[in-house]
């Protein structure tokens, strides 16, 4: 059993489809202001591992838009809470380069183990309108082909997403290491 420390139910629902034995713990941790998701995740997992006994996992994710020099990136949670999807659509309204990608870094620790991290990405485009009410966060404005992630059920999103890539990499690592 792994404790997944997160405040985000959408993330947990997706992770739950990958790891059967997962428990959500909404206990918070320090999200440092840093330039990369790796730094945020590495600092966070060390704090979580000190506070919770047993296997623990956190995940830090963000939306990166090259035309906006990578914004909102490590500020994705704050931007989502403040200006939201409509704010991003407004910033992008005159922009022809619509490329965007999500990045996920998952960090895992257990007693006696130096924390490990795994990453995943999915590349798509920012649409011109919000579509769909599935998923969470930026899903309704992030398009793959002519559909948004907001129009995809979890199992479909999990075939392509940044989060499924990082978490499946962790899962593969966990099952491939020799028994202690």
List the catalytic residues.
Answer: 60
Using CB under 6 A as the binding criterion, the count of chain residues that bind ligand ITT stands at: 21
Binding residue for ligand ITT, selected from 76, 117, 164, 166, defined by CB under 6 A: 76
CB of 29: closest distance to ligand ITT in angstroms?
8
Interface with ligand ITT, residue 139, by CB under 6 A: yes
Q: Two tokens at 104?
A: 């996920």
Interface with ligand ITT, residue 120, by CB under 6 A: no
Q: Which residues pair with 126 in a beta bridge?
A: 142
Kindly tell me which of 12 and 116 has the beta carbon lying closer to ligand ITT: 12
For residue 173, give the H/E element and its range. Answer: helix 162-176
Distances (CA, A) of 103 to 52, 64, 114, 151, 152: 26, 8, 23, 20, 18
Binding span for ligand ITT by CB under 6 A among 3-11, 93-101, 108-116, 126-134: 3-11
Interface with ligand ITT, residue 80, by CB under 6 A: yes
Interface with ligand ITT, residue 135, by CB under 6 A: yes
Interface with ligand ITT, residue 77, by CB under 6 A: yes
Interface with ligand ITT, residue 61, by CB under 6 A: yes
Whether residue 72 is preceded by a cis peptide bond, meaning omega within 30 degrees of 0, is yes
Answer yes or no: are the C-beta atoms of 118 and 100 closer than 8 Å: no
Kindly tell me which of 6 and 117 has the beta carbon lying closer to ligand ITT: 6
Answer yes or no: are the C-beta atoms of 132 and 148 closer than 8 Å: yes
Binding span for ligand ITT by CB under 6 A among 17-25, 46-54, 109-117, 130-138: 130-138
Distances (CA, A) of 49 to 107, 128, 148: 11, 42, 36
Kindly tell me which of 30 and 54 has the beta carbon lying closer to ligand ITT: 30
Q: Two tokens at 58?
A: 């956190």
- Tell me the C-alpha distance between 17 and 38, whole Å: 23
The residues that touch ligand ITT, with contacts defined as CB under 6 A, are 6-8, 11, 59-63, 76-77, 80, 102, 135-139, 149, 161, 163
């Amino acid at each position: 059993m792994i404790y997944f420390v997160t405040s985000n139910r959408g993330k947990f629902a997706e992770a739950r489809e990958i790891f059967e034995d997962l428990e959500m713990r909404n206990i918070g941790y320090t999200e440092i202001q840093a330039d990369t998701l790796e730094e945020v995740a590495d600092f966070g997992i060390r704090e979580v591992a000190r506070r919770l006994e047993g296997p623990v996992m956190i995940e830090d994710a963000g939306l990166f838009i090259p035309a906006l020099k990578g914004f909102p990136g490590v500020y994705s949670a704050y931007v989502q809470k403040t200006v939201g999807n409509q704010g991003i659509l407004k910033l992008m309204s005159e922009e022809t380069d619509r490329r965007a990608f999500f990045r996920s870094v998952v960090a895992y620790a257990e007693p006696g183990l130096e924390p490990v991290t795994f990453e995943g990405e999915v590349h798509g485009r920012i649409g011109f309108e919000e579509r769909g009410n599935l998923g969470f966060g930026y899903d309704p404005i992030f398009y793959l082909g002519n559909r948004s992630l907001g129009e995809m059920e979890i199992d479909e999103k999990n075939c392509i997403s940044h989060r499924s890539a990082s978490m499946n990499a962790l899962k593969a690592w966990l099952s491939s290491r020799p028994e202690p």
